[in-house]
Amino acid sequence: MARFAILMYEDDGAWAALPPARQQELYALYGAYVEGLRSRGAFVAGHSLGGPAVRLVGGAGGEVRVDPDPATTNVLTGWFVVEAPDAVAAVELAKGCPALLHGERVVVRPTGHGG
């Protein structure tokens, strides 16, 4: 079995714009999604991410600075790591992610550097 990251992204605080009742419904769906992954033996880890984020930028000379204007688009909001036999199976697992029900994008990537 290989491991894959399921990464969830949103733009412009879409989650915060949802009514609290809808957020609660979605929390329940996320819980059911994780339980489904566990029942298949696919769940490894996962967590939501809070904000605000601090973005660091490294320069060519090794200096590091804080970006004063972090992006509000393409924000990573959470992740799961799953085990699947291949990328096709991992994508099938990701299709059930509740992030897709409230306008987020989901990206599936193999973990590690390969080779």
pLDDT, tens only, 74-85: 889 999 999 999
Domains of the chain and any CATH numbers: 2-51+71-110 (3.30.70.1060)
For the entire predicted model, the pTM comes to 0.88
pLDDT, tens only, 1-28: 999 999 999 988 888 899 999 999 999 9
Q: Give Dmax (Cα) for the chain.
A: 49
Question: What is the Cα–Cα distance from 29 to 5, expressed in whole angstroms?
Answer: 19
C-alpha torsion sign, points 14, 20, 26, 27: positive
The residue among 57, 107, 58 whose CA lies nearest residue 79 is 107
Regarding predicted confidence, which is higher, 67 or 5?
5
